[in-house]
């Protein structure tokens, strides 16, 4: 992925750098310059925090069906591999814009604008997506997801094995399973949470891909070792959550989603896909995530 001309914003407590290619958060650092994001080791995964739009996850046979037509679209959609325009940039705020084009209309027949706003205040980075329907008469069906990969371990001297993710509410429901091709299967996976809220991170959890909550109750999680600085991730606008890494990698992804992969064998219209929302003509939908560094 290109990493030229990163757009930087900062406060006294936090700094961020965003790549206009994909409007992707590439660096998040504390006041002492310590990196809180993935090392992007190519032996595992070179992503940092891709933006997932207009789908989340994989489609059955990479096929999106809409208005009686079929279109080919790869996993997580096209936004993560699109160049966004930088439409605003100040010391603490940057706004990126992706609009429909001949290329997007060929695979997703809707006129849209996707704005990503990154803003830092104190120790919090707010990332806000605004999905605008520019159609005169048709609704805009879409899914959207965040996919940030945080450093595992965080740079505060604690061992990788000491890190955990704690949910802000009990999560008693089972998780969803994926096929090798990334589709949702009917079989469910027992929750790996201890005491209903705590996920003690270990590589074995991810040998069969991501952990997926398709009806998450919590609206925030805390990530880090039990003592020392932690990251709090707030996601009030997204009803689903994925947590993922590749065993042995130096990152953990905490992924708030409004959408999910196709169920295995699904061949229905995109509007019937789980997690898809519809934006009325001329209207917008806003989805936000906040990342706070807590002492």
260 has pLDDT over 60: yes
CA distance 9 to 6: 10
pLDDT at 2: 54
Q: 């919590």: which residue's tokens?
A: 218
pLDDT at 73: 97
Tokens of residue 287, six digits: 């989805």
Name the strand (E) or helix (H) holding 259.
Answer: none
The mean pLDDT value for 45-66 works out to: 97
Percent above pLDDT 70 for the chain: 99
Nearest to 9 by CA among 84, 88, 115: 88
CA distance 107 to 295: 45
**CA end-to-end span of the chain:** 32
pTM of the model: 0.97
Q: Which residues pair with 244 in a beta bridge?
A: 253
- Using one digit for the tens of pLDDT, what is the confidence trace for 177-210? 999 999 999 889 999 999 999 999 999 999 989 9
Contact, 64 vs 270, CB < 8 A?
yes
Q: Which whole-number Å values give the CA distances from 64 to 70, 114, 135, 136, 224, in the listed order?
A: 6, 19, 19, 22, 38
Provide the 3-class DSSP secondary structure of residue 76: coil
275 has pLDDT over 70: yes
Ramachandran class of 271: left when φ > 0, alpha when ψ lies in -120 to 50, beta otherwise: alpha
Which band of pLDDT confidence, cut at 50, 70 and 90, is reported for residue 4?
Answer: low
Which band of pLDDT confidence, cut at 50, 70 and 90, is reported for residue 253?
Answer: very high
Q: What's the mean pLDDT when you consider all of the chain?
A: 96
CA distance 111 to 71: 16
Question: Counting beta carbons within 10 angstroms of the beta carbon of residue 236, is it exposed (0 to 12), middle (13 to 18) or buried (19 or more)?
Answer: exposed
Q: Is the peptide bond before 192 cis (omega within 30 degrees of 0)?
A: no
Contact, 139 vs 16, CB < 8 A?
no
Which band of pLDDT confidence, cut at 50, 70 and 90, is reported for residue 128?
Answer: very high
CA distance 243 to 168: 15
pLDDT at 214: 95
Q: Which whole-number Å values give the CA distances from 117 to 24, 178, 225, 240, in the listed order?
A: 11, 32, 29, 21
Q: How would you classify the pairing of strands 230-234 and 220-225?
A: antiparallel
What CATH class is the domain 7-294?
mainly beta
Question: Counting beta carbons within 10 angstroms of the beta carbon of residue 121, is it exposed (0 to 12), middle (13 to 18) or buried (19 or more)?
Answer: middle
Contact, 148 vs 241, CB < 8 A?
no
- Using one digit for the tens of pLDDT, what is the confidence trace for 71-95? 999 999 999 999 999 999 999 999 9
């Amino acid at each position: 992925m290109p990493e030229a001309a990163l757009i930087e914003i900062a406060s006294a407590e936090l700094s961020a750098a965003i790549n206009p290619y994909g409007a992707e958060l590439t660096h998040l650092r504390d006041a002492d310059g310590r990196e809180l994001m993935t090392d992007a080791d190519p032996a595992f995964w070179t992503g940092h925090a891709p933006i997932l739009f207009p789908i989340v996850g994989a489609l059955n046979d990479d096929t999106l069906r809409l208005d009686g037509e079929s279109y080919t679209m790869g996993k997580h959609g096209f936004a993560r591999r699109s160049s966004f325009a930088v439409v605003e940039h100040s010391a603490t705020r940057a706004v990126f814009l992706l609009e429909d084009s001949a290329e997007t209309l060929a695979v997703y027949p809707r006129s849209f604008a996707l704005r990503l706003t990154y803003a830092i205040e104190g120790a919090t980075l707010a990332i806000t997506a605004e999905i605008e329907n520019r159609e005169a008469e048709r609704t805009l069906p879409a899914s959207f997801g965040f996919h940030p990969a945080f450093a595992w371990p965080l740079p505060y001297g604690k061992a990788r094995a000491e890190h955990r993710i704690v949910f802000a509410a009990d999560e008693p429901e089972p998780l969803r399973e994926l096929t090798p091709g990334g589709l949702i299967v009917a079989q469910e996976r027992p929750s790996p949470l201890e005491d209903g809220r705590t996920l003690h991170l270990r590589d074995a959890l991810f040998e069969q891909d991501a952990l997926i909550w398709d009806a998450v109750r919590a609206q925030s999680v805390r990530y880090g070792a039990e003592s020392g600085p932690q990251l709090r991730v707030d996601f009030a606008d997204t009803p689903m959550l994925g947590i993922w890494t590749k065993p042995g990698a130096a990152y953990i992804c905490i992924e708030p989603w409004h959408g999910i992969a196709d169920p295995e064998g699904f061949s229905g219209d995109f509007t019937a896909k789980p997690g898809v929302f519809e934006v009325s003509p001329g209207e917008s939908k806003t989805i936000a995530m906040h990342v706070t560094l807590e002492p």
